[in-house]
C-alpha cells in the first residue's frame, strides 16, 4: 500500500543531539531549515521555530502530510522535548507521525568511501556511546545499542574492511584505536538528513502509534530512591 499525495510536505524535527533543528521538506527537497546550537534552549526554541517555518512557507499545520521525528538515542531531555512537540502537532491536526532512529539519520550526513561500513556514535558520557553499524544500502550490521568502548571494540569488523566512525562520540574512540581500516570523519547531522528515510516511510505508510510511541533512549534511566516523609 502506498501513501499517495500530489505534493508531499513533511515537517522534520531533531532534538536528540547537541544542535536541534527543524526542517520543512517538499518532495524530498529542503524548503526551509532552522538550527539551534544551544542544547539547554531546545525547549524554548522549538515551538517558535516550527511556527516561523510554517508561516514563512505560508503553510498551515494541517496541510502537512506527516511529521517526522528523530526518535533517539540521544539526549534524554532533548528526546522528550521533540517527541512532545511532534505528538502534540499530530494530535491537533490528525496527521501521522514518522519515527526515525537518530543513528540512521546520522548516516545520511556524510559521503563515505566506497564499500565502507558506517558507524555513527553519540556520546553517552565517560567511555560509553550509542552506536550502530550500517552498510551503504542501509542494512544494519549492528543494531542500535549502547557500548562501552575499548581498544578491541569493532575489531571483528575492522579486520574485514574499512569502517567510518563519526559523530560526537567518535573522538574518544579515535584516541584508543589505531587500526588501518578505521576512518574518522566529521559530520553534523540535522533534521534535513531524515528526508530520504522519512519519504520512504511515508510511501509505505510506516507510521507510529501516537498513543503508545516513546523515544528510544538507548539504555535504562534510573531515578534515585526517595524515602517517604513520616
Q: What is the per-residue pLDDT for 156?
A: 96
Mean pLDDT across 123-136? 94
Question: How many CB atoms are located within 10 Å of the residue 213 CB?
Answer: 17
Q: List pLDDT tens digits, range 51-104.
A: 999 999 999 999 999 999 999 999 899 999 999 999 999 999 999 999 999 999
Query: Does the structure show a pLDDT above 80 at 218?
Result: no
Which cell is 136 given? 551503504
Mean pLDDT across 104-132? 92
- Enumerate domains of the chain plus CATH numbers: 9-102+189-203 (3.30.420.40), 111-184 (3.30.420)
Run of H or E residues at 198: helix 195-203
Whole-prediction pTM: 0.90
Mean pLDDT of the chain: 91
Instruction: State the Cα angle at 19 between 189 and 122, rounded to 5°.
Output: 60
What is the band of 221 on the pLDDT scale with cuts at 50, 70, 90?
A: very low
**Strand residue runs (E) in the chain:** 9-14, 20-26, 29-36, 66-70, 97-100, 117-123, 128-134, 140-148, 163-166, 182-184
Query: Does the structure show a pLDDT above 90 at 230?
Result: no
Mean pLDDT across 4-15? 85
Q: What is the per-residue pLDDT for 200?
A: 95
Q: What is the per-residue pLDDT for 2?
A: 45
Q: What is the per-residue pLDDT for 223?
A: 41
Amino acid at each position: 500500500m502506498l501513501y499517495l499525495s500530489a505534493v508531499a510536505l513533511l515537517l522534520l524535527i531533531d532534538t536528540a543531539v547537541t544542535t536541534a533543528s527543524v526542517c520543512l521538506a517538499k518532495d524530498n527537497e529542503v524548503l526551509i531549515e532552522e538550527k539551534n546550537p544551544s542544547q539547554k534552549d531546545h525547549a524554548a526554541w522549538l515551538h517558535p521555530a516550527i511556527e516561523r517555518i510554517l508561516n514563512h512557507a505560508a503553510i498551515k499545520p494541517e496541510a502537512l502530510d506527516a511529521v517526522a521525528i528523530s526518535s533517539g538515542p540521544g539526549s534524554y531531555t532533548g528526546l522528550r522535548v521533540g517527541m512532545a512537540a511532534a505528538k502534540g502537532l499530530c494530535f491537533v491536526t490528525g496527521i501521522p507521525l514518522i519515527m526515525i532512529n537518530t543513528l540512521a539519520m546520522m548516516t545520511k550526513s556524510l559521503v563515505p568511501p566506497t564499500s565502507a561500513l558506517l558507524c555513527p556514535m553519540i556520546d553517552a558520557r565517560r567511555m560509553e556511546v550509542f552506536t550502530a553499524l550500517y552498510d551503504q544500502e542501509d542494512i544494519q550490521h549492528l543494531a542500535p545499542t549502547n557500548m562501552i568502548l575499548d581498544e578491541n571494540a569493532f575489531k571483528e569488523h575492522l579486520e574485514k574492511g574499512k569502517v567510518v566512525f563519526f559523530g560526537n562520540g567518535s573522538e574518544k574512540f579515535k584516541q584508543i584505536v589505531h587500526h588501518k581500516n578505521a576512518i574518522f570523519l566529521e559530520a553534523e547531522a540535522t533534521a534535513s538528513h531524515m528526508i530520504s528515510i522519512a519519504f520512504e516511510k511515508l510511501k509505505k505508510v510506516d507510521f507510529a502509534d501516537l498513543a503508545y510511541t516513546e523515544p528510544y533512549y538507548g539504555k535504562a534511566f534510573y531515578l534515585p530512591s526517595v524515602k517517604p516523609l513520616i
